[in-house]
Amino acid sequence: MTTLEDTRAWVDDRLPALLEKYGVPAAAWAVLKDGEVVDGAAGLLSTATGVEATPDSLFQIGSITKLWTASLVMQLVDEGRVDLDAPVRTYLPEFRIGDEAAAAQITTRMLLQHTAGFEGDIFADTGVGDDCVEKYLGVLHEVPQLFPPGERFSYNNAGYCVLGRLVEVVREKPYDACLREHLFAPLGLSHAATGPYEAILFRAAVGHIELEPGAGQQPAPIWAMARSNAPAGSMLAMRPRDLVAFARMHLEDGRAADGTQVLAPGTPARMQAKRVELPYLGVMGTSWGLGFERFDVPEGDVIGHDGSTIGQNAFLRMVPEAGLAVALLTNGGDVVSLYHDLVGHLVESLSDTHLPGLPTPPQQPERIDASRFVGTYSAEVMDLVVSQDDDGRVWVDTIPKGPLVEMGESPDRKELVAFGDDSLIPVEPEQGMHLPHAFVGDDGAGHALYLHVGRAIRRAGA
């Protein structure tokens, strides 16, 4: 099996060419294997300033933050201060959503495994003060319930903000302070930042996005999303070596490198175990645990999480049986193809398992009657309009709303073709990815009730 020094040499040799191939301004990476770490970086942290990336550069980790929030919650479970199956109102009596009966039923476990069932992409900005997560709960009062609590998986950013507030209330301190005191400190992290005021003290990456179609990537006009979404992944930044230090704790049954017990023995395994299955979505996991994304493959399961912020993308993959963790942090471009080439190679060369292949559309797709799928599926941040033209071709129009418009997202149209039972797939990739669109449920009139793209987006008017 490949050694870590072989790994370092391979990545150092290949990464610059991969960045150029996929238009990624910079990437930093780290590999943990049986307690040893190698890391590196290449490219530019900002194409405007020309500052080069180093192994100690900070990148935003986006929704990988959810694993940190889940760990903070599970510390409280370890201490006997939170019961996973008690209603979340036990700890947050002020928790309200549009469906009062559902709000009374939703548990901490449901929030951790994304089965709470309410609208999840709520990116309201409630200020930059330490009370921003507390104020965020007030924004949720009219948020609709999409399905009964516990019925199915639907990725839920807002649910993790609720968990962040739970941590604040039980600990009686702001979320960022909980991160620093209960995870950064015991893990011995030196290059991690809970927001821009800390990140600016390091070499920090800037995200790159296409501000206008066809104009090419440019540095994003803002560094981060709203602080109110910090527990879901809008702020946390770090170097890859510190991210794999966190992963090591989960691989070694809750122990930090110096032996400090950060989570109780057995808790990491509970977090990593399969709790809920997903429709086949290709890049996303096949199942989920208590925070952890899972890729269930016959040779040995891979776990981890991904993260996306404004022009920055992060990937964490762990193979518990091999004592392996791989972190890749990027700041723009075709990041999915880079991830697949780089992280896929590292997982295969350093373990006995592999990453699932990326889904691709069939070369000669079958023409179908899409009447079950046609319609408008509406969420807080976008509408997805599925239509079929007179030639039998199927299209999805993505119409951004609210915060996505503010972040520069434009309407988009893609052709979809048949891809398995009750699933369609785009003909053209986006950021190197063909994301399957799964149609689930029934509205009572023979139409799909949800379009599932990681989030279950409900048919308008159903």
Is residue 421 packed enough to be buried (19+ CB in 10 Å), middle (13-18) or exposed (0-12)?
Answer: exposed
63 part of the active site: yes
Q: Are 373 and 366 in contact (CB under 8 A)?
A: no
| Residues of the chain falling short of pLDDT 50 | none
Rounded to the nearest 5°, which phi and psi values hold at 13?
-75, -40
Q: Which DSSP state fits 237?
A: E
As given in the structure block, the two tokens for residue 392 are: 């039998």
**Residue ranges of domains in the chain, CATH in brackets:** 1-356 (3.40.710.10), 375-458 (2.40.128.50)
Q: Are 236 and 230 in contact (CB under 8 A)?
A: yes
As given in the structure block, the two tokens for residue 272 are: 């990593």
Distance CA 256, CA 188 (A): 8
Q: Are 168 and 178 in contact (CB under 8 A)?
A: yes
pLDDT tens, residue by residue, 222-236: 999 999 999 999 999
* The total number of residues written for the chain in this structure: 462
Long-range Cβ contact pairs of 364-367 (< 8 A, separation 24 or more): 365/417, 365/418, 365/419, 366/418, 367/392, 367/418
Please pick, among 63, 228, 351, 378, the residue that the annotation labels catalytic: 63
Q: Are 377 and 387 in contact (CB under 8 A)?
A: no
Please, which residues have CB within 8 angstroms of residue 129's CB and are 6 or more apart in sequence? none
What DSSP assignment string belongs to 70-101? HHHHHHHHHTTS--TTSBGGGT-TT---S-HH
Q: Give 375's strand partners.
A: 386
pLDDT at position 253 is 98
Q: Are 54 and 204 in contact (CB under 8 A)?
A: no
* Alpha-carbon distances of 158 from 95, 97, 171, 229, 362, rounded to whole Å: 12, 11, 20, 8, 35
Q: In 3D, which of 86, 205, 195 has the Cα closest to residue 132? A: 195
The pTM assigned to this predicted structure is: 0.95
Distance CA 82, CA 97 (A): 21
